[in-house]
């Protein structure tokens, strides 16, 4: 089974620029998550989708971050404008209907550096 | 949310068993205990989960205390490839979100 695909793998931008990350979850996984992982910390949930609807975006900084999941498959996460503190790895994960068994499958992430 | 407490770091010798502890004294009756690990430059990887009984799979074993206030992840023979950050997570079993909330985890170093 193919894993969760993310692109790009690395991105370097200047502060105040915009950036977008793309995620393709495992086929058939209805639930998709975006996490932010700052160096030395555990991942922090930004947003959760169930199909193409948002389940939880309470920790998403909505003044600069946005995410969408059109057609309930691929998803994009955008930052506009970026700040220095947004430097982190952005991880996408998916699961089958948010089930307990089998857990989440994570992608390898996009490492963002804001300079 | 119920929280977990793990040591920041542990060391183990290659080919020896490793016992990674986790305390979760405020666990509720229906919270599942999940373990994930994160290898360098990769996303977290599911290891194992359980509710009340001990669990075994091809990667590890999970021993859960009778009062469920602590658990231990057991790697039976550590290899260099097991060097990673190990996260113990309580997953809410009710509600539409049922999210994984990560702490700081335990950095496991495996010595050759």
Tens digits of residue pLDDT in B43-89: 999 999 999 999 999 999 999 999 999 999 999 999 999 999 999 99
Share of residues in chain A with pLDDT > 90 (%): 79
Q: How far apart are CA A96 and CA A68, in angstroms?
A: 19
Residue B96 to residue A50, Cβ atoms within 8 A: yes
Q: Centre a 10 Å sphere on the Cβ of residue B15 and count the other Cβ atoms it contains.
A: 12
- B-chain residues within 8 Å CB-CB of A101? 49
Write the residue in A41, A55, A91 that is nearest to B104 by C-beta: A41
User: How far is Cα of residue B101 from the mean position of the Cα atoms in its chain?
Assistant: 13
In this prediction, residue B98 has a pLDDT band, given cuts at 50, 70 and 90, of low
- A-chain residues within 8 Å CB-CB of B103? 42
Average of pLDDT values for B99-112? 91
> What separation in angstroms does the CA of B36 have from each of A102, B90, B101?
11, 11, 11
For the cut 60, the answer to whether the pLDDT of residue A26 exceeds it is yes
For the cut 80, the answer to whether the pLDDT of residue A1 exceeds it is no
CA atoms within 13 A on the CB side of A23: 32
Position B70 scores a pLDDT of: 96
For the cut 90, the answer to whether the pLDDT of residue A97 exceeds it is no
Residue A43 to residue B34, Cβ atoms within 8 A: no
Residue B100 to residue A102, Cβ atoms within 8 A: no
Q: What confidence tens digit (pLDDT) does each residue in B6-32 have?
A: 999 999 999 999 999 999 998 888 888
User: How far is Cα of residue A3 from the mean position of the Cα atoms in its chain?
Assistant: 15
Position A103 scores a pLDDT of: 78
Q: Which residues of B touch A (CB under 8 A)?
A: 32, 34, 36, 41-46, 49, 85, 87, 91, 93, 96-105
Highest mean pLDDT among A70-74, A104-108, B88-92: A104-108
Average pLDDT, chain A: 92
Residue A4 to residue B91, Cβ atoms within 8 A: no
Is the separation of the CB atoms in A108 and A53 below 8 Å?
no
Share of residues in chain A with pLDDT > 70 (%): 94
Is the separation of the CB atoms in A92 and A4 below 8 Å?
yes
Residue A44 to residue B102, Cβ atoms within 8 A: yes
Residue B99 to residue A91, Cβ atoms within 8 A: no
């Amino acid at each position: 089974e193919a894993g969760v695909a993310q692109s790009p793998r690395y991105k370097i931008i200047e502060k105040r620029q915009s950036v977008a990350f793309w995620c393709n979850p495992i086929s058939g996984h209805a639930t998709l998550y975006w996490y932010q992982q700052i160096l030395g910390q555990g991942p922090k949930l930004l947003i959760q989708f169930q199909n193409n609807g948002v389940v939880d975006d309470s920790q998403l900084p909505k003044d600069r971050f946005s995410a969408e999941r059109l057609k309930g498959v691929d998803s994009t996460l955008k930052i506009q404008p970026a700040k220095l503190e947004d430097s982190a790895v952005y991880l996408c994960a998916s699961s089958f209907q948010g089930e307990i068994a089998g857990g989440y499958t994570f992608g390898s992430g996009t490492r963002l550096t804001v300079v | 949310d119920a929280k977990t407490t793990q040591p920041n770091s542990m060391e183990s010798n290659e080919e020896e068993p490793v016992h990674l502890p986790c305390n979760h004294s405020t666990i509720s009756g229906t919270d599942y205990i999940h373990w994930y690990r994160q290898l360098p430059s990769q996303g977290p990887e599911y290891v194992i989960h359980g509710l009340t009984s001990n669990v075994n799979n091809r990667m590890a074993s999970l021993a859960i205390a009778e009062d469920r206030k602590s658990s231990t992840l057991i790697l039976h023979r550590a290899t260099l490839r097991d060097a990673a950050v190990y996260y113990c997570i309580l997953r809410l079993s009710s509600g539409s979100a049922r999210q994984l909330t990560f702490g700081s985890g335990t950095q496991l170093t495996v010595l050759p």
